[in-house]
Structures are given as C-alpha cells and as structure tokens.
Amino acid sequence: MTTRDDSKSRLDALRVEIERRNPAQPEFHQAVHEVLDTLAPVLAARPEYAEPGLIERLCEPERQVIFRVPWQDDQGRVHVNRGFRVEFNSALGPYKGGLRFHPSVNLGIVKFLGFEQIFKNALTGLGIGGGKGGSDFDPHGRSDAEVMRFCQSFMTELYRHIGEHTDVPAGDIGVGGREIGYLFGQYRRITNRWEAGVLTGKGAGWGGSAIRPEATGYGSVLFAAAMLRERGEDLEGQTAVVSGSGNVAIYTVEKLLALGANPLTCSDSSGYVVDDKGIDLELLKQVKEVERGRISEYAERRGASARFVPDGRVWEVPADIALPSATQNELDENDAATLVRNGVKAVAEGANMPTTPEAVHLFQRAGVAFGPGKAANAGGVAVSALEMAQNHARTAWSPARVEEELTHIMNDIHATCHETALRYGAPGDYVTGANIAGFERVADAMLAQGVI
C-alpha cells in the first residue's frame, strides 16, 4: 500500500528532476511545485495515478513551438521578436489558452501559464485542454499599422499549429480585440477558411461572444462572493482593493459595483490610486480603455476623493476583499501581512499566480478565504469555451444567457473546489481543492487514453 510519505518522496524527487530539466524557469517551477505540493494524498488514495508515469507526462508539454517574428515599424526598420506556443495537455479537448504580448514573455513564463491552464480549463468542465503562447513584443506605444504588421507576421508561423479542433488561442496581456482581429484576418487570408472557432475574443459582430471582455473580472468577483457566502457573509457593502487597470481589473470593478461592493483602488506600473468614494467606473474606462493613459490621470480628473500614490503598494489600503488582477507575483508575504493586519476576509486571484507561495501560506494560516487563479479567474476561459460553442452552432447568445452560464460555471467551480478539499481532509483550502479536482479530471482522461 502506498502511503502519503511514499507519495511525498516520489513527488519531491520529481520536483528536483523538473528543475534540472527546465533550468532558469522560476515561474514554471513555482507553478509545478504549487500543484505537486497538494497531490500526495491523491496518490496515496489512488495509486493507479502513479503507475504509468502520469504526473511526469502531465508536467511535460506535449509540444513547444518557438519561432522568430520579423516585422517592420513605420520608419521601415526591421525588428525581430520571438514567438511561443506551448501546447501542454489535450486529454480533455483542444489546447485552449491566451496569447500574451509583453517584453517579459519567455519560455518559462509561457510554460507556467500553460501548466496552470490545464487545471483551470479542467475545472470549467467544458472539454478544453491547456496551452499558452505569446511574444516578447510590446504593443504599448506602437501604431495600429505596426501592431497589424507584427500580428500578421506572428500568425504566418502560428497558423500551422492551431485550429478549432487542435488549439484555440485567445487574448491575454497585450492582446485585446484589436490584436485578435489582425490575427484572425491573417489566419483567414492564409488558410482560405472562415474558421471562427480558431480564435476566441473576437468582435461581437464577427463571431465573438457577449461579455467575453468582462468574463475574467466578473468571474473572480463571483468566486469571491461564493467564498463569502460559504462563511455566512454577503459581498454587498464590503470594501475591495483591486490591483491593475487593464481588462481584468476594469471588469472586476464593474462587477463589484453591480453586486453592491465598494472598490477603492486600481493601479498600473506607475503607482496606484485610492478613491475614498469608490472607483468611478466610467472615468476609469475613459482613461485606460479609450485614451490608454496612466492611472495618475484618473486621480487628476476625479477630484478631492482620489489620490495617486506613485511609490506605494496597493495592498496598503485597508479593505475587506483583495482582488489581485495585474500580473504574476505582485502580492508578496509582506503585502499579505499588511492585508491580514488590516482585516482582509477574502482574496480572489484575477490574474495568473499573482500571489507568491509565502503570501498564500500566510493567508491560509490567518484563516483568510483564498481563491487561487486556476479557480477564481477561470471565467475568461469559460466564456471563451462558450464562444467556441456558439461558433460551432453558427449562432450568438444574448448577454443575459452568457452571464447566466458564467455565473453557473463559477458557482460550480467553487462547489467543486470546496467539496474536493473536504474529501481530502483540507476544509476551506481552495488551493488544495482546485489542484486535486483539476488533476483528477485530467488524470482520469489520460489513464483512459493510454500512454501517449
């Protein structure tokens, strides 16, 4: 009989081997460790998972594609960026995951995101595998024509590896509706096919889904509300601190306001604003979505209730709920200690792995309800899968129907994580619940399909 100690020893050895085979990829190591740390009781209870090298296969991408992306700027200068697509696991369905255009993108970050995506997508129950991609191209400050030329060059290679039954990319940081449009246009041009299901996040008039831009932010708030309900509380009347001011953060603010909460902050790389009256959603959208300005401009226009803090940490602001919605590892142990000291009740990750492991452990020790990204921010990929379903049927659902489906999916993810944590003796531990529930769904499919 396999014991938990036996399983832990095996997982520790695998962790060492993964670090050896994937050097200089700290984000990927962090993501893998976070999952492996919770799997010992699963292997002890279900030893069949240990036999066919299943976890070893799960931690190794099925395919990794790296390619150059040459393009010309408006002055005729040629630039060369690097493109990535990591197709991690397709046991449950076609690879599904976003494309990120940001100078920080490298293979390790794409692998971390793709690995997380496996479990996130499994939790939705919608039959999609895990993958991720992107480039170290920075669209900030580039003209529409430059972004178009880059996207066309990027898709000229990527098109060989994707398809509605193979791999379905979407947007992520730096890839919004503009970029998806250019990417889809080039795919259509090369393939001579109107294959709407090959990309999600499309415009509403040409195959996109209602509330897709809002879905990740909406979903993280819905998950936070579900965690509070489990504790006998309601989101209405609670104060919230939100990081970021991109797509996820903006629609996190929107959903908080719709459910009666009071979002106090938002941020960008220059600093953060705190608004004592609560964030003015329309002004935030004007500054960030229309003008693509800095968050300091929000404070300048808002008046006396808002102030811009250039050098501080957004987590210094006391609030009931924290929703990190910017980027990986933005909330560290010191930030977590500050939030706990100020009485935070729940944390739901809108971004991918925004909380460091030390901070997660501190929240858990303090009894704070913590919703990991693979559960709390699954709303975006869930609506992407609903977009795929609409594309297959050549139809479009109403915003009300999509939002109803999203609410059902997020509540179901919460229930799955909560019940799985209970089943494995870790009540209230959403990290353990999410990891094990996602793992079991993928592992069962991998066992059924043989060693491939």
- Can you spell out the DSSP letters for 3-50? -HHHHHHHHHHHHHHHHHHSTT-HHHHHHHHHHHTT-HHHHHH-GGGT
Residue 384 annotated as binding site: yes
Q: Would you call 8 a catalytic residue per the annotation?
A: no
200 annotated as belonging to a binding site for a ligand: no
**Catalytic residue of the set 132, 255, 345, 374:** 132
- 96 labelled binding-site residue: yes
Question: 10 Å Cβ neighbour count for 318?
Answer: 14
Q: Which two tokens stand for residue 66?
A: 């790296």
DSSP 163: B
User: How far apart are the C-alpha atoms of 413 and 163, rounded to whole Å?
Assistant: 27
216 is in an annotated binding site: yes
Q: Is 247 annotated as a binding residue?
A: yes
Is 432 within any annotated ligand binding site? no
Which pair of tokens denotes residue 85? 């697509």
End-to-end CA distance of the chain: 27
Contact 333, 358 (CB under 8 A): yes
Cβ neighbors of 182 (< 8 A, separation 6 or more) are 147, 148, 151, 152, 155
Q: Which two tokens stand for residue 383?
A: 């609506």
**Does the annotation place 117 within a ligand binding site?**
yes
- Reading across the β-sheet that carries 262-263, which strands appear in turn? 262-263, 239-242, 321-323, 346-348, 369-371
Alpha-carbon dihedral 183, 185, 190, 192, rounded to 10 degrees: 140
Residue ranges of the binding site for NAD(+)? 216, 247
Residues designated as active site = 132
Write out the binding residues: 96, 117, 120, 171, 216, 247, 384
